């Protein structure tokens, strides 16, 4: 199968491209510079330009590009960058796909569990409406930006990804060095739910969305049983054989990461109802298994 991927140099994109190529698929990567290799297509999400003709013949497109939510402190300027990188990129890609003589049969267009906002200890799934705040409104706009592809008859799926457990990259990649040094601890009260997924299962789930005909709309990519930050802390300590004595107060988090602190100490108990109903099987469903897989 010929598959186009945006965000191919990110944590998830790198792993996805490697997995697809290992199984013999032809992967074309959308890059934000002049194409220098046969497997590259130039695009510029900020300027909303793309070399669309080279997408002809792709059977699937997986769109993962966007500024990292946990990469730096949330200033007003960076929040605009987070938003624009997703909305403009998705709109550019979706509109380009509608112009093709041979459009893909499926667009897997990234989203996030930030859609649900704060849920406390209440379990939510894809039937739950959006929450309030920056991330929920962002996710709503992000998904709506793919509307041209949906209206053109392209099967469009929105993987609402949770916290990806990986040793390097993403928010979790910043936790491993702290815990290895014996400086890890719960964040805030520790009672907030974290809806996680191993990197292995994230990649497998994305491929499942590509391959499963009839599956469209939002699909939560999270492990079956979310756990509290307190349980995450205990699991990291067990797997890495390190003490976890240092709780981090919410006020200290806000000084370091700005508004992102509200989401770190907030609680999202998200379950993957549609993913499970579609027959997907998790390789690493528990937090201990996910952390061991990352190590």
Q: Per mean pLDDT, which range of 1-10, 32-41, 78-87, 183-192 is the poorest?
A: 183-192
pLDDT the model gives residue 239: 95
150-168 per-position pLDDT tens digit? 999 999 999 999 999 999 8
pLDDT the model gives residue 264: 58
98-123 per-position pLDDT tens digit? 999 999 999 999 999 999 999 999 99
Q: Model-level pTM?
A: 0.93
Instruction: Give CA separation, 287 vs 6, 112, 188, 222, 231, in Å.
Output: 28, 19, 19, 11, 8
Look at 251 and 86; give whichever has higher pLDDT. 86
Tell me if the domain spanning 2-294 has CATH number 3.40.50.720.
yes
Which residue has tokens 């039937």? 127
Look at 129 and 46; give whichever has higher pLDDT. 129
Between CA 186 and CA 208 the distance in angstroms is 33
């Amino acid at each position: 199968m010929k598959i186009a991927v945006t965000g191919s140099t990110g944590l998830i994109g790198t792993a996805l491209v490697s997995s697809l190529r290992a199984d013999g698929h032809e992967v074309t990567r959308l890059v934000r510079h002049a194409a220098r290799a046969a497997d590259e297509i130039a695009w510029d999400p900020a300027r909303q330009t793309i070399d669309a003709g080279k997408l002809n013949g792709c059977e699937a497109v997986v769109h993962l590009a966007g500024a990292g939510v946990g990469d730096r402190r949330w200033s007003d300027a960076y929040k605009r960058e987070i938003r624009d990188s997703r909305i403009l990129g998705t709109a550019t890609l979706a509109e380009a796909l509608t112009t093709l003589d041979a459009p893909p049969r499926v667009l897997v267009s990234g989203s996030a569990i930030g859609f649900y906002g704060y849920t406390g200890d209440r379990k939510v799934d894809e039937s739950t409406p959006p929450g309030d705040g920056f991330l929920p409104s962002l996710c709503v706009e992000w998904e709506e930006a793919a509307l041209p592809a949906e209206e053109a008859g392209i099967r469009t799926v929105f993987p609402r990804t949770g916290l990806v457990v990986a040793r390097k990259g993403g928010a979790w990649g910043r936790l491993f060095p702290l815990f290895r040094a014996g400086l890890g601890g719960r964040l805030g009260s520790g009672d907030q739910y974290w809806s996680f997924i191993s990197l292995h299962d994230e990649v497998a789930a994305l491929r499942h969305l590509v391959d499963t005909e009839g599956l469209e709309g939002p699909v939560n990519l999270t492990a079956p049983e979310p756990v509290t930050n307190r349980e995450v802390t205990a699991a990291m300590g067990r797997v890495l054989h390190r003490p976890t004595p240092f709780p981090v107060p919410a006020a200290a988090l806000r000084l370091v990461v700005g508004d992102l602190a509200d989401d770190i100490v907030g609680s999202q108990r998200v379950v993957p109802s549609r993913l499970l109903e579609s027959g997907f099987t998790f390789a690493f469903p528990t937090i201990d298994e996910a952390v061991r897989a990352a190590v």
